[in-house]
Structure 1
Amino acid sequence: MHATSASDGGSPVEWSRLPDAVRARLADVAATALGGMPATEVPVPLRRLARFTPAKRAKLGGPALLAELTGSTAFRAAVVAWWDENRPGELVTGADDPLTAAAAAVLAGDEAAAQAVAAAAHRGDVVELRAERDAALSRVDKLSVELERLRGELGEAREQARSAGDQRDAEYQQLRRRVSEQGAKLRAALDGRAAADRVVEELRASSAAELAAARAEVERERGRAEQERRRADRAAAEVAAARQAAREARQADEVRLGLLVDTLGGAVAGLRRELALGGGGPRPGDLVTGAGAAAGGGAVDGLAALDALLAVPTVHLVVDGYNVSKTGYPELTLADQRTRLVGQLAALAARTGVEVTVVFDGAGVVAAPVRGSRGVRVLFSDPGVIADDVIRSLVAAEPHGRPVLVATSDAAVVRSVQRRGAYTVPSTAILTRLVRG
C-alpha cells in the first residue's frame, strides 16, 4: 500500500519500503505521543496500548502503530501536533539525527521526505558498517587475547606433560627396584624355608632313630629281667637254703630295673618335649571323620560325679549332638540347635580345659564345618554312616587308660561304649551342667 507524506499531494513515500531504522523511529515517535493524547483522539485499535509505557508500546505495538500511521492522516497529524505542543523543536526536518529528521519529514508530508529517508538510510548504513567494523575489531582483539591465553595454556600443558612423564619414569624405575628387591627377599625366604625343612626332616629322622633305639633297649632290659626272674625261680625251687639269697637277688634286679625304667621314662619325656609330641598335633579324635569302629566303663548319674570326671586330666568328652540338642531345645531348627549346643560346649571347654567332640548326623547338611570354634571339635557323619558309629569309632580310637565320657541317652550307644571302657552321662545331666555353668 502507498501513502503520500503530504495531505495535499506531496511526493509520495512508500511506507512498506521505508528502512527498518526509520520505521522503528516512527514507531517510537507514535508510542511517545500516544501516551499523552486524550482518550478521544486515540484510535480504537491503539487504545489497548495506551496503558503501556512508551518503550513497551513501541516494542509490542510497533506493527499496529505503523499500520495506523500508514492508514490514518488524522493520527499522523495528531502525533505531529503533540510533539509540536509538548516537545517543540525535537521532531523537525532539520534535526541533527538523520532518523529523527526523516521521521519528521515523513509525518509532516515534506516534499524532501524521500531525500531525508535516503540520507537516514545512508547514515544508518554508515553507522551500521562502523558498528560492524568496531565489533569485528573488538572480536579480533578478543580472539588475539584468547589465542595468547591458549598459547600460554598449551605451553603450561606441555611443560606439565613433560614433568608428568619424568615423574612417571622415576616412579617406574623405583617400582622396578622395589620389585627386584622383593624378588630377592622372596628367593632368600624360599631358600631359608627349604633349609629349615631339611633340618626338620633330619631332626625327625634322628629322633625316630633314637626312639627306636630306646624302645629296643627297653625290650632288651625286659628280656634280661625275665631271664633273671626265671633264674631266680629255678634257684628257689632247687635249693631251699638259697631261697633268701634268690629273693634278695631278685629284689636287687627289680631295683635296677626300676632305675632303668625311670631313666628310660626320663629319656622318653625329654624326647617328647624335644619333639613337641602331644602338644599341637592331632588328637585321636581328629583322625575320626565319619566312619570306623576299637573294654568296661560306667554310668555317671549326678552332677558331682560329672564334675569330678571332668576334672580328671586329659578326659575326652564326646557328645551325641542331636540326642542332646533335641532333648534340650526341640523347638529350634536343627541349625539353631547345633549353634546353641556348640556355643555352650565351647564355654564348658573354656572353663574346664577338657577336650570336647560333638558328633551330628551328616544327612542333609550342606557345607558342614569340619571343626568347631573355641576348643570344640565338630564332626558330621559321612553319607550312609550314622553319628552313633562315629561315636563308637572315637571311643575305639583313644588309647587304653585315657578317660572318655560320652554324653547320650541312646541305650545302644551307652552299652557299646561302656563295653569299650568309656563312661556315659545322660543328655539331661550334661544339659543341666551346660545351663548352670
Structure 2
Amino acid sequence: MSGTPAADGGDPVDWSRLPDAVRGRLADVAAAAVGGLPATEVPVPLRRLARFTPAKRAKLGGPALLAELASSTVFRTAVVAWWDEHRPGELAPASDDALTAAAAAVLVGDAAAADAVAAAARRGDVGELRAERDAALSRVDKLTTELERLRGELGEAREQARSAGEQRDAEYQQLRRRVSEQGAKLRAAIDGREAADRVVEEVRAAAAADLATARADADRERARAEQERRRADRAAAEVAAARQAAREARQADEVRLGLLVDTLGGAVAGLRRELALGGGGPRPGDLVTGAGTAAGGGAVDGLAALDALLAVPTVHLVVDGYNVSKTGYPELTLADQRTRLVGQLAALAARTGVEVTVVFDGAGVVAAPVRGSRGVRVLFSDKGVIADDVIRSLVAAEPQGRPVLVATSDGAVVRSVQRSGAYTVPSTAILTRLVRG
C-alpha cells in the first residue's frame, strides 16, 4: 500500500505498516464520515456501507475504508472536511488522545505524522497492558455480577418451582373433580342411552306389528285382486266363446246360403241345357272385329284395337315378363324390372278388371312370390323350362272361346299362340298402354 506524503515534504506514512490501533481509529473516523457525506462524495465501493451503522461500517467495511483512504486524496479531504464541519476540534493532530492525533496527522498529511504514529504505538502498548488489566478486572466484576444474578435467578426458579408444584397440586385436584363430574355425566348419558334403546325397541316392535298388519292387508287385497282377475278372465273367455259361437253360426249360415246359391246355379244350368241356350255359338271374344285380327287369333297393333280387346268381358292378358320389362326399362336390375312391371300391370287390372298373368324365367334361381299383388298372377318357369313354354301352356289351358291376349315381341311365341287362337300385342304397345294409364 502506498504511503501518504507529508504536507511540508516530510517522510511519508506507510499505510501498510500502521499499527492496528491507528488503523482501527482511521476506520472509525471514515465510517462516521461516510454516513453523513453526500452520495456523490462517497466512493462507489463504499456506498453500500452508508446504509449500516458507524460501528458496523467500521467492523465490516474496515479494509475497504482504509483502502479508499490510502488511495484517494479526494476521499481523505472529504472525510477531514466532514469532521471539521460536524465535529470541529475532535480530529486534530494536537488532540490529547494519541490514536486520534495520529489518525488526524495521517489524514491531513502532517509532517510529524510518523512521530505521532510512533507515539501512538508506544502508548498503545502501555495502554494495551493497562487495558488488558482493566478488561480482566471488568470481567471479574461482570462474572461476580453474573454469579449474583444467577443466584437470584436460582432462588426465583426454586420459588417458581414451589409455586408451580402447589399450582400443579391444585390443578390435579381440580382435574379430579372434573373427572368425577364427567364420570357422573357419563353414567347419566349411559342411562339415557339405555332408556332410548328401550324406546327404540318398543318403536321397532310396534312398527314390525304395523308392518305385519299391512302385509296381511296387502296379501288379502292381492288375493282379492287375483280373484277379480280370474273372474275377468272367465268373463273374457265366455265373451270369446260367445263370439266364436256367433262366427260359427254366421259361417254355417254362409255355408247354407252358398249351398242354396249352388242349388240355384245347378237349376239354372239344367234349364239352359233343356232350352239349348248358348250351344256351340261363338264366345264374346270371337266377336271382336275391326282390330286387324285373323280368325282363330291374330295380332293387335294399334292402341284402339288393344283397348277394344281389353274391354271384352273375361279376357285373359298373358305377359311375357322379361321380354316386356327389358324393352321398357333395360337400365334397371331384373328385380327392379319385375317390381315395376307388376306394379303397372296391377294398376291396369284395377282399371279394366281383366285377368292378368305375367311369366318370368328362372324359378330355380329367383326367389319370388307365386302370386302378385292386386289381382296380378306372377309365375316363374321351373328349372329347365323357359317362360315361352309356360305361356304356350297357359294359352292351351284356356277353354275354347275365351279371348286370350299375349303381350310379347318374341316371334316364335307370337306364331305359336296365334295358331292356338290367342291374340298378340307387341311389347312396345302394351308398354305405351301401361304408361298412358
User: TM-score with structure 1 length normalisation?
Assistant: 0.49
Looking at CA atoms only, which structure, 1 or 2, has the larger radius of gyration? 2
Q: TM-score normalised to the size of structure 2?
A: 0.49
